[in-house]
Structures are given as structure tokens and as C-alpha cells.
Amino acid sequence: MRLPSLRAPLDILFLVCCLVLTADVLGPEIFGHGKTKDYPLWFWAGQQVLQGGDLYPHDPRTIFAFLYPPPAAIMLAIPAFFGKIPLYLCLSLLNAAAWWMTAQLSNAMTGEAKTASPWLAALPSIVMISFTFDMFDLGQPNLVLLAMMLWGFWLLQHGRPWSSGILFALATAIKVFPLAVLPYLVWRRQWASVASTVVFLVALLVVIPTPIRGYQHNVAELKTWYQGMVGSSSETGFGQRDDQNWSWMNQSLISLTHRLTRPVDYNQDNPNNKPAYMNLLDLDFKAANWVVLGVAAIIGLGFIAVMPPASRRTPRSDAEEIGLLLCLMTVASPLARQYYFMWLFFPLTVLIHRAAFDPRAAVRKGTWIVLAISGVLICLSLPPFPHDWQAYGNNFLATVVIAAGLAWHLLHPVEDKAGSPAGSLSASGGVP
């Protein structure tokens, strides 16, 4: 865990990349017609908070401009007070810091006793560069959320569960899907972290906004947001963006299952394209939802089955377990567009370390093959390839391949000479 150094060539390359990506954000705003994508929306949301305006329409059936919970807008209001350029610069700096912290934490949390060489440590950042570009270009917070989650797990492993809960709650208050960490914490009996997450989430959603937005105004907006984003679901779509939810853009478990089990036009977001279908079955909406629940239950039970009991946990198994959890959280989100798969950064890092350092030659070779297959699948999202391949879930399948590799390592740990898992937690100080 360190800061960038001007004496390290790869650190200089990292800083140059951050400058280029930040220029992509600020250049159009300073010299062009203004930065597009989500940046103007973030400025609008921050200004709404500053001016006491509404973030959502009063009718939850009306299209929302801002899809995030109210606390996210309050956080945006602070830099938005100073104008667009300070806001955009602040978001770019957050992404740069999150990128560095994600890489640092990922390499530090793999559970390997050996330290990776600079190029090996940089390999995940190189592989995931297109996703990182999306974070800067679109202004999306998924990289920042990943850094928060990894930092939370780092604190949890170092005996600071209440601090970890603050980070889990903050990530959830910005973009709800990180809340999926709670069942895992409950299963692992991390009660202090669970309590901290719940307490601070309530504080972020209700207590902190009250003096800023007013109690009634804030509660009304929370209710409207919940009804429009969480409480709305039909065969036409869910969560405000009906044209995207079933389209090729969404590679979540929910969307992919619906496209495979009922006749859904995955080109519906582009009315200029002719309808396209990929369903193998012809189920109705309710039956397709039952399939989703069944598949989710099988995946959840499979995750529980490969998790080692507390007595056999090691730093290596914890890394594989958290990597597998992040894979499942990514595809379990109802909306999993291309940039959501930024969360594969840590799982890929764990597998890269296994491919480099596992003492079993055949396992190292097999892990590199898994990484190569997942890399090819991820590359199918690049512009030269047709959207049809994304409709069939290339990133989803890459996540499945990575998850399968992590699960194999969980089930086949490196054994020491006594026949017990190497580096057991009991022998290393009982990391929780």
C-alpha cells in the first residue's frame, strides 16, 4: 500500500493515463461545446439540491432524469456549488484515486505470500483499461464503489468491522446494488459490520439529508425514488429505463434470462433497427421470473457450497471468496451494463496471482487458460463486434468463467505438508 512515485516508470504511466482521461472530461467543457454523457446530469442534480428543487417528478410513473438515491445528489452538490469544471475535475480525481486504490488493494488482498512484480501488479489495470476509460468518459461511479467495497473488506480483515460498515453503507447510498453484500456478512456472522452498515445507511438516507433537504421533502423523495426504481416492474421493463432493461446493453442475470426464455426484442432501445429475438423458450413474464429466481437460488446455494468452513479459511480462500462474491454481485444487479463489469478487476487480480504463484504447474497453466478465455469474451464488447454478441451475454459468460476459476481454487486449496490449507487464519492471527 503506497502512493504513486515519480521514480517508478509504471507509476508515471499511470499518472499520464489519468491526465489523458481527465483531459477527455475537461477538454470538451473548456474548449468545445460541453462535456456530454452523465456529467451535465450530475451538475443538474447538485444544483437541484443547492436550490432546494425536486430531484424526481411527483408521479413515480414519470420518467426520472436522476436515477440515484437522494444522498448521491447531496454529495454532488458540494463540488457543483463551484461550477461545472470544478465538479467534473472532482469526479475525475475521485476516479483516479479509486483506480489507484483498487489496484493497490486488489494486489494486497490476494492472500499470496509473494509480492508481485511491477508489471504483474499492473496487468489487471492494463486488461481493464477500456472499463476504466468508461468510468472517466461516462462519469459513472462504479470504480469508486469498487474501491469502497475493497477498502471495506480490507478493514474487515484487519479487525475494524464498524469502519467497514461505513464504507458498505456509503457505496449503497450512492448506487443501491452494493447492498447485496449484507447476506454475505450475515452468513459469515460479521454482526458488527452488518449493524454498522444498517445504522450508517439509515443515517445517510434519513438523518444527514434532513437538515439539508428537510425531513418531509427528503422522505417524500425517498418514497418516490423507491416507487419509481425498485417498486416498478412489468414485462415492458423496470426501474425507469424500459428500452434498456431487456436490450443487449443489459447483461444482468435477470435480463439475460428473460431474453432467453421469452420473446423480448433486444434491439428495442434503437427503433431504427429491426426487432431481434434470441429466446430458446416462449414463457410469459411471470414464468420467466420464476426461472430467474430458480437460477439465482442455484447460484446462491452453489456459492455457499464452495465457501470453506471457518476452521479452514485462509487469506487465499478469503480472496477467492470475495472475488466470487463480487462476480455474483455484478451480475445480480438488475441493470448490468458494460461498465458494471469494472468489478471484475479484483477477481481477475486474484486469478492472475494464482496463475503466477500457485506451486502446482498444471494449476498455473489452467488458470492462465481461464484468464485467456475470459479476456477473449470481454473483448467481444469492443466496437468492431456486433451488439448481438453482447445480447448473448459475453461479459456475463466471462464472469461465469472467472467465477468458475475462483470456485475451483476454493475447492482445491494449496495444502501444506501436514495436509491442512496453507496459511490458515488461525496460524496467521485469526483475521476475521
| pLDDT, tens digit only, all 432 positions of the chain | 788 999 999 999 999 999 999 999 999 999 999 999 999 999 999 999 999 999 999 887 788 889 999 999 999 999 999 999 999 999 999 999 999 999 999 999 999 988 889 999 999 999 999 999 999 999 999 999 999 999 999 999 999 999 999 999 999 999 999 999 999 999 999 999 999 999 999 999 999 999 999 999 999 999 999 888 877 666 776 766 766 788 899 999 999 999 999 999 998 877 777 889 999 999 999 999 999 999 999 999 999 999 999 999 999 999 999 999 999 999 999 889 999 999 999 999 999 999 999 999 999 999 999 999 999 999 999 988 998 999 999 999 999 999 999 999 999 999 865 556 766 553 333 444
Residue with cell 432493461: 245
Please report, for the chain, how many H helices and E strands are present, in that order: 20, 2
pLDDT at residue 432, rounded to an integer: 42
Can you say how many angstroms the Cα of residue 186 is from the centroid of all Cα atoms in its chain?
A: 20
What is d(CA 1, CA 269) in angstroms, rounded to the nearest whole number? Answer: 43
Count of Cβ atoms closer than 10 Å to residue 191 Cβ: 11
What is d(CA 34, CA 93) in angstroms, rounded to the nearest whole number? Answer: 19
pLDDT at residue 427, rounded to an integer: 36
Count of Cβ atoms closer than 10 Å to residue 233 Cβ: 14
Q: List Cβ neighbours of 420 (8 Å cut-off, separation of 6 or more).
A: 312
pLDDT at residue 235, rounded to an integer: 73
What are the backbone angles phi and psi of residue 234, rounded to the nearest 5°? -155, 180
- Sequence letter at residue 346: F
What is d(CA 337, CA 249) in angstroms, rounded to the nearest whole number? Answer: 6
Residue with cell 427528503: 218
